[in-house]
Structure 1
Amino acid sequence: MKKEDCFYLGKIVSKFSFKGELLIKLDTDEPENYVGMESVFVDYNKNLVPFFLERSALHKSDLLRVKFEDIDSEEDADDLMKAKIYLPLDLLPKLEGNQFYFHEVIGFKIIDQTFGEVGVITNINDTTSQALFEIDRDGTEILIPMNDEFIDKIDRDAKTIFVSAPEGLIDLYLE
């Protein structure tokens, strides 16, 4: 399994017991969807390695307490500390309407209600307090905040997102 075929689910943040249990900090708004998984991929020695779960349960809302098969001691668990956890992309629940996964819209066109066709999404910058569409317009980068108020409609079939950017925002990048 390759990383590009997977999505990041979370990171092992601590040991829970002397029997090899671990706590995974989940990167999701719906942690309950990931209780009862049979397996996950662990980023171990720069490879995605499948680990099978004996059991899992939510712990303090956004932590998943897991017991992996063959991880039976604190020493075994130490070896996995801080490892990132992944799942195959096809396990993501399908989103509808104006909801989308960041990886899903790379390559989509952005059309602004006033400006017209802005360009193509090359990346999503989520390192800032407000996530941003990074859009390429003939070599010029344009940033538009990913704000529900600005996103009018997503047409998955046409790979297009229709927006109403704040007045003058797009022009700032083109002057």
Structure 2
Amino acid sequence: MKKEDCFYLGKIVKKYSFKGEVLAKLDTDEPEIYEHLDAIFLDLRNNLVPFFVESSQLHKSELLRIKFEEVDTENDADSILKCDMYLPLEVLPKLEGNQFYFHEVIGFKIEDKNYGLVGIIKSINDSTAQALFEIDNNGKEILIPMNDEFIVEVNRKTKTITVETPDGLIDLYL
């Protein structure tokens, strides 16, 4: 399994018990979807290694308490501490309408109702308070906030996102 065929699920943040259980911080708005997984890929020295889940349950709402098969001691748990966790892309529930996963819209065109074709989404910047579409417009970078009020339509067939941005926002970059 390669990273590009997977999505980031979260990170193992601390040990939970002397029996090898760990707590993982999930990168999701709906942690309950991932409460009963059979296996999770852990990033060990840049290799995705499958770990089979013996049991798991939500712990204090945002953490997932996991007991992996063959992780039976504190030392075993130490060896996977701080590991990133991944799942295959096909595990993701399908989104419809104007909802989308960030990885899904890379390469989509952005069209503004007033401006016209803005460019192609080259990445999503989610390190800021508000996630941003990073758009390539003939070599110039344009940033548009991923605001529900701006997104008019997500068309998966034509790979186009139609937005309606405030007057002058796109012109700031050109």
Q: TM-score, normalised by structure 1?
A: 0.98
Residue 72 of structure 1 and its aligned partner are, at CA, apart by 0.4
> In the alignment, residue 102 of structure 2 is paired with which amino acid?
F
Aligned with 2:170: secondary structure?
helix
Q: CA RMSD in A?
A: 0.5
The residue number in structure 1 matching 2:73 is 73
Residue 166 of structure 1 and its aligned partner are, at CA, apart by 1.1
The reply on whether 1:123 has 2:118 as its aligned counterpart is no
| 4+ residue runs over 3 A deviation | none
Residue 45 of structure 1 and its aligned partner are, at CA, apart by 1.6
Residue 35 of structure 1 and its aligned partner are, at CA, apart by 1.1
Write the deviation string for residues 95-154 of structure 1: whole angstroms up to 9, x where unpaired. Answer: 011000000000000000100000000000111101100000111110000000000001
- What is the distance in 1 between the residues matched to 2:130 and 2:32? 26
The residue number in structure 1 matching 2:47 is 47
> In the alignment, residue 65 of structure 2 is paired with which amino acid?
R
Aligned with 1:154: secondary structure?
strand
The reply on whether 1:165 has 2:165 as its aligned counterpart is yes
The residue number in structure 2 matching 1:139 is 139
The residue number in structure 1 matching 2:3 is 3
Residue 36 of structure 1 and its aligned partner are, at CA, apart by 1.1
- What is the distance in 1 between the residues matched to 2:29 and 2:66? 19
Unaligned runs of 5+ in 2: none
The count of residues paired between Structure 1 and Structure 2 equals 174
- What is the distance in 2 between the residues matched to 1:36 and 1:146? 31
Residue 24 of structure 1 and its aligned partner are, at CA, apart by 0.5
Residue identity over aligned pairs, in percent, reads 68
- What is the distance in 1 between the residues matched to 2:37 and 2:173? 46
Aligned with 1:149: secondary structure?
coil
